[in-house]
Structure 1
């Protein structure tokens, strides 16, 4: 049904559930860290390094990991168009918890309780955001501030007005401010400038907030919650 109604929608698996099954055979904190290092890697080079490290410790663990099809639950392989790096089903679980009390009722009363809750939620979220004097959403701003701190450890080297080579430790990355891409792939995937990109942005004396994807801006948020559910 989903494939029919939303043919261009990306299909992802929950990394947390995959880990729960995988970890039954490959226990220990070291294996746990290796699993998530691979799953959370933003680019294929880091993913490969993580997988190689896992294979050195236990080749069977690496083979079992690949058997779950990393294309469906690893950040290195998910599409960059959605501007979302979530690889667990927390959003679905959160909504499930939101309607947990309504689910125990008769279907008519259940649907009515969910409708009323969502009707009020739309108004509440919109009203709260209208009161905030911000440019991007608060949680996105928090992530941006953390990246700004890391940007202090980066050295931007301009190649042109829009392209930079950025040195970060032993890594050399390429940042394109026009296409809003970095070879670390974090900016491409999340829509939030990474530390390397911010270093280049600051070199041009510009604001990192101006380079955040439009989907995270207050104006977009208000449009999303601008609709209403009628009584």
Structure 2
């Protein structure tokens, strides 16, 4: 009977290191290791991007729990209001904001955002500006004349429930920059632009004229209920 001496595997205890000058891994093995390392790097980048932009609750792995850790509300100031809000207009605008960089294509550096902005603008008459000579009443208190300031427009109020971004396009460098920092400036820029367009549209509308008509009807009804038979309301500086 012939006996064979067992050989120890390279990773087993007692294995001898390869002798000097022994041939190393073949080129095919090295290429396989390089491909495997490349695949691992790509998977790591994809997982990083996934967890960077997608909340864990969106993956369905964990239960969602919301906690409100807000502090107490602080009252900063009080003001007496003397204006009569007589009309309100609802507006909607589609903002197309594009930012480019010179000498670079949009695919490399640049952003473009489509944003639907919806908001309201109130028109009011400031009754606190009435002076002693702006209200006249006849002797038998049957006729009254009022001179009011022209109606003015309030600041546009953007409605967050009806405003949203439709699409966002970003260049490669902008996407890489977003991986390491949050940049809300683009969102704020389109919101400011939407507010400005809504304010311009309100100024071109007949919202102030509608407010003056409603104020006139309100004052006429109020004073007639007090016994005045003739009520005249005019507007001027």
TM-score tier (shorter): under 0.3
Q: Greater relative contact order (Cα 8 A, min sep 6): structure 1 or 2?
A: 2
Question: Who wins on radius of gyration, i.e. which is larger?
Answer: 2
Q: Choose between structure 1 and 2: higher strand proportion.
A: 2
Q: Choose between structure 1 and 2: higher helix proportion.
A: 1
Give TM-score scaled by structure 2 length: 0.17
